[in-house]
């Protein structure tokens, strides 16, 4: 099963148009999915997402929806994508699976879970006229007539059971163009209970330091290799600092002495270490912390310069350790601290290079050839797909000021960090907190191993989407929600014409 994999050039144009339509519709239709709560380190759940109530077509790949007791909205998470090519096999007209676990299968059974958004890409493989219809869902493709022509359609799998998909051209179904879509009752999350949640809660931020004298700060990091949930139904052997991705946000002030004890868990398979970009000295501490499984080492450094810095494992292959999740950030506050805000969040971006294509179910392994050729399958915030949408959204209230410490673990791709529907009041480029910040910034560039700090005031309620504005990456897992509770303040934005704006509050 795959979301996007091995698509021929003729399909990219259609898919590109569909993806753009999905993004635009999603941005327009997104509203608060349920009642927002104050962010805490243990908020006990995730935002309720509204469900789609009618099937999407190639013209409307993302649709508004309403679930009982919830506001209408759409999910920004990429759907499950199946690609099928029409063809002739065993003397019959058939659909042939393309990519993932259905690759090469004739009329493959498409297995999904109840409540999932399903996207089907249909490619004409031999030049006869075809389409595809899903029984009981009233979901269908457009006709594909020319060889290599393609069509894309979507629907919400909200009815458990087995349902036929087939070609509606007279005689084609009887000639062999029929398969099954199996919708399994219950959520995919219920099937993932045995897999660890490695996602770092973005609200897991130490308190500001503010005014105090320099002191010795002791930090304990444990490198742990564990199977974690990469996506619904998909797991990966993550390498972590303290069992989460990213590692903990460390907070000190300029002039502090930072003592770092690194312990490598006894169950680890390989050696690990840590390199602090905030440290001055060989390897940023990595020379002193190359640690065998079951052992520990300590390195001490002086925080000489304020800023927001990345740390990561620096054991060869360094890129391998980083892509597996071994990165984090350290905030070195200037004397007197940073300007005060109401809330702070911690978000990092990374890539994963799996053998199987994006969206394939089961246990994923790292593909070293893809890694060194910089060909990732996944782009993620805080370690996993849906990390900041369904699992750990950011929560705040209208009228508050928020700060996001944002970094890129990478190991390879630069981020164009953007919050859709907001403007950064101040942005500290490259994590420099002693340079004058930029003001009124829409999107900010963050390189691998780099960081930024963005502050902004929340002027109205709503759901604001965190993205890398290389927006195709949203289709490979890279999106998050900032859910803001409170008045919507229609004077700032409202549907309809200017003369339909509500009168200002007295």
Q: Which residues are annotated as a binding site?
A: 272, 277, 312-313, 321, 326, 469
User: Residues within the annotated binding site for Cu cation?
Assistant: 272, 277, 312-313, 321, 326, 469
Q: Distances in Å between the alpha carbon of 332 and those of 309, 366, 456, 463?
A: 8, 33, 21, 31
Half-sphere exposure at residue 70, Cβ-oriented, CA atoms within 13 angstroms: 21
CA distance 474 to 368: 23
> Which positions ≥6 away from 496 have C-beta within 8 Å?
none
Place of tokens 């993004």: 23
Expressed in angstroms, the distance from the first to the final Cα of the chain is 56
Q: Record the tokens describing residue 107, joined without a space.
A: 């009329």
Q: Is 451 helix (H, G, I), strand (E, B) or coil?
A: strand
DSSP letter string, 255-283: T-EEEEEEEE-TT-SS-B--EETT--SGG
DSSP letter string, 225-236: EEEEEEETTEEE
Phi, psi of 107, deg, nearest 5: 45, 55
Q: Record the tokens describing residue 477, joined without a space.
A: 């897992």
Helix, strand, coil % in the chain, rounded to nearest 5: 10, 40, 50
> Which positions ≥6 away from 397 have C-beta within 8 Å?
36, 38, 458, 484, 485, 486
CA dihedral (365, 366, 370, 373) in degrees, to 10, reads 180
CA distance 80 to 364: 17
Cis peptide before 494 (omega within 30 of 0): no
Sign, CA torsion 195/198/203/204: positive
Are 22 and 59 in contact by the 8 Å Cβ rule? The answer is: no
Burial of 239 (0-12, 13-18, 19+ CB in 10 A): buried
Are 257 and 217 in contact by the 8 Å Cβ rule? The answer is: yes
> Which positions ≥6 away from 320 have C-beta within 8 Å?
366, 368, 371
């Amino acid at each position: 099963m795959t979301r996007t994999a091995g698509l021929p050039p003729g399909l990219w144009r259609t898919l590109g148009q569909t993806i753009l339509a999905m993004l635009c519709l999603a941005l327009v239709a997104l509203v608060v999915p349920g009642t927002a709560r104050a962010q805490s380190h243990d908020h006990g759940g995730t935002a309720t997402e509204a469900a789609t109530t009618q099937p999407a077509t190639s013209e409307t790949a993302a649709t508004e929806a309403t679930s009982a007791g919830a506001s209408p909205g759409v999910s920004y998470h990429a759907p499950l994508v199946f690609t099928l090519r029409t063809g002739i096999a065993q003397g019959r007209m058939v659909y042939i699976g393309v990519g993932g676990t259905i690759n090469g299968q004739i009329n493959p059974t498409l297995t999904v879970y109840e409540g999932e958004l399903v996207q089907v890409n249909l490619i004409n493989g031999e030049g006869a006229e075809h389409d595809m219809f899903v029984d009981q869902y009233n979901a269908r493709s457009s006709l594909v007539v020319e060889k290599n022509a393609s069509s894309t359609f979507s629907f919400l799998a909200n009815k458990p059971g087995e349902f036929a998909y087939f070609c509606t051209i007279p005689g084609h179904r009887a000639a062999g163009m029929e398969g099954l879509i199996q919708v399994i009752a219950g959520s995919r999350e219920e099937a993932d209970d045995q897999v660890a949640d490695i996602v770092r809660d973005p609200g897991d931020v130490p308190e500001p330091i503010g005014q105090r004298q320099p002191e010795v700060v002791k930090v304990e990091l444990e490198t742990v290799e564990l199977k974690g949930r990469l996506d619904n139904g998909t797991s990966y052997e993550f390498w972590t600092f303290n069992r989460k991705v990213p590692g903990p946000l460390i907070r000190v002030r300029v002039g502090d002495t930072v003592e770092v004890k690194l312990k490598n868990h006894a169950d680890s398979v390989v050696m690990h270490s840590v390199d602090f970009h905030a440290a001055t000295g060989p390897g940023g501490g990595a020379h002193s912390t190359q640690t065998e499984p079951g052992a520990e080492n300590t390195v001490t450094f002086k925080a000489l310069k304020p800023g927001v810095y990345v740390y990561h494992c620096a054991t060869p292959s360094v890129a391998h350790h980083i892509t597996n999740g071994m990165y984090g950030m350290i905030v070195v506050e200037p004397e007197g601290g940073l300007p005060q805000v109401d809330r702070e969040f911690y978000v990092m971006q990374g890539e994963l290079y799996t053998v199987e294509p994006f969206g394939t179910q089961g246990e994923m392994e790292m593909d070293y050839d893809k890694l060194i050729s910089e060909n990732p399958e996944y782009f993620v915030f805080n370690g996993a797909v849906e990390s900041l949408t369904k699992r750990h959204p950011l929560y705040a209230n209208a009228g508050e000021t928020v700060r996001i410490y944002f970094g890129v673990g990478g190991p390879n791709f630069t981020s164009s960090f953007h919050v859709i529907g907001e403007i950064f009041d101040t942005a500290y480029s490259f994590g420099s907190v002693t340079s004058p910040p930029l003001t009124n910034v829409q999107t900010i560039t963050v390189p691998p191993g780099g960081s930024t700090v963005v502050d902004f005031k929340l002027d109205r309620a709503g759901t604001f989407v965190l993205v890398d504005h290389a927006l195709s990456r949203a289709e490979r897992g890279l999106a998050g929600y900032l859910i803001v509770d409170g008045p919507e303040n229609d004077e700032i934005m409202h549907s309809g014409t200017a003369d339909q704006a509500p009168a200002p509050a007295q």
